[in-house]
Amino acid sequence: MDLDAAVRAADALAAARRVSALTGAGVSAESGVPTFRGPGGLWEGRRPEELASPVAFAADPELVWRFYDWRRTRLAGARPNAAHRALARLEQLVPSFELVTQNVDGLHAEAGSRRVVELHGNIWRVRCPRGCVDEIDRTAPLPPPLPPRCPRCRGPLRPGVVWFGEALPPGAFEAARRAAESAEVFLVVGTSGVVEPAASLARLAAGRGALVVEINPDVTALTDVAAISLRAGAGEALSAIVDRVEEARR
């Protein structure tokens, strides 16, 4: 990790009043959750776009549920890691902090983050597309047969996540846009930056004059927007940065 860049990022965070962060699957990688576009991300050789869509669900709800059951099972044993914990600590250190996540695993909240916008929903939610049922169910794997059925209308229930081609949860993008527009420092952590509209938030923040800090072991579609790029794992980089912010704010 470039220590000089980490120090610059920490100093900017320590001086900022308003900080926002956009996170992606890389933040949960160190909790043992495979990223979507990294090794182990394909399920039975299929890309997420082939499974996470209303068209795929209409064609084969059982197949789509088997994919989500697989992810739910991987997540059932996952615990927040150093990156989640550092972001939760940062929230306590900065006067105003907003966390926007593309992750559906709920690990930010479990680590103690309070202000979290879940842009893509939550994998533990199970809901009826007709609106009869909307509940949190942490059972993994779900008991067969799949798909689970709505107790009222008997139609197939679906995971409470956002699929490709669907609108984001009501209010979520507005809250995320406000977070991007108002940030003095905008962290982009563990996302490939290829899925919209989430990725546009980093560009929006940069366009409004925020210092964009990227933390990712690889170059991404958002690297060109970042004023500071840290090529490191999220746990190591965020722990070091937030330790320094903590010292500065003492």
216 part of the interface to ligand OAD, by CB under 6 A? yes
By the 8 A CB rule, do 163 and 57 touch?
A: yes
Chain positions 158 to 197 lying near ligand OAD, rule: CB under 6 A, are 162, 164, 190-192, 195
Q: Site for ligand OAD (CB under 6 A): which residue of 1, 8, 18, 37?
A: 37
234 part of the interface to ligand OAD, by CB under 6 A? yes
* Active-site hit among 120, 142, 180, 190: 120
Angle between the N-to-C axes of helices 3-15 and 234-249, in degrees from 0 to 180, rounded to the nearest 10: 50
Binding span for ligand OAD by CB under 6 A among 23-31, 110-118, 139-147, 170-178: 23-31
Q: What is the C-alpha separation between 178 and 183, in angstroms, rounded? A: 8
Q: Is 193 exposed, middle or buried (0-12, 13-18, 19+ CB in 10 A)?
A: buried
Q: Among residues 19 and 232, whose Cβ is nearest to ligand OAD?
A: 232
Q: What is the C-alpha separation between 210 and 187, in angstroms, rounded? A: 10
- Residue 194: CB minimum distance to ligand OAD, A: 6
By the 8 A CB rule, do 90 and 245 touch?
A: yes
Beta bridge pairs of residue 147: none
Q: Among residues 70 and 164, whose Cβ is nearest to ligand OAD?
A: 164
Residue nearest to ligand OAD (CB): 26
Residue 120 is a catalytic residue = yes
Q: Among residues 7 and 194, whose Cβ is nearest to ligand OAD?
A: 194
- Residue 151: CB minimum distance to ligand OAD, A: 26
Q: What is the C-alpha separation between 69 and 99, in angstroms, rounded? A: 26
- What angle (nearest 5°) sits at the alpha carbon of residue 33, between those of residues 107 and 146? 90
Chain positions 79 to 138 lying near ligand OAD, rule: CB under 6 A, are 102, 120
Q: Among residues 144 and 170, whose Cβ is nearest to ligand OAD?
A: 170
Which region, left, alpha or beta, applies to residue 193 given φ > 0 means left and ψ of -120 to 50 means alpha? Answer: left
- Residue 227: CB minimum distance to ligand OAD, A: 18
By the 8 A CB rule, do 185 and 210 touch?
A: yes
Contact set with ligand OAD (CB under 6 A): 24-26, 29-30, 35-38, 41, 48, 52, 102, 120, 162, 164, 190-192, 195, 215-218, 220, 233-234
Positions marked active-site: 120
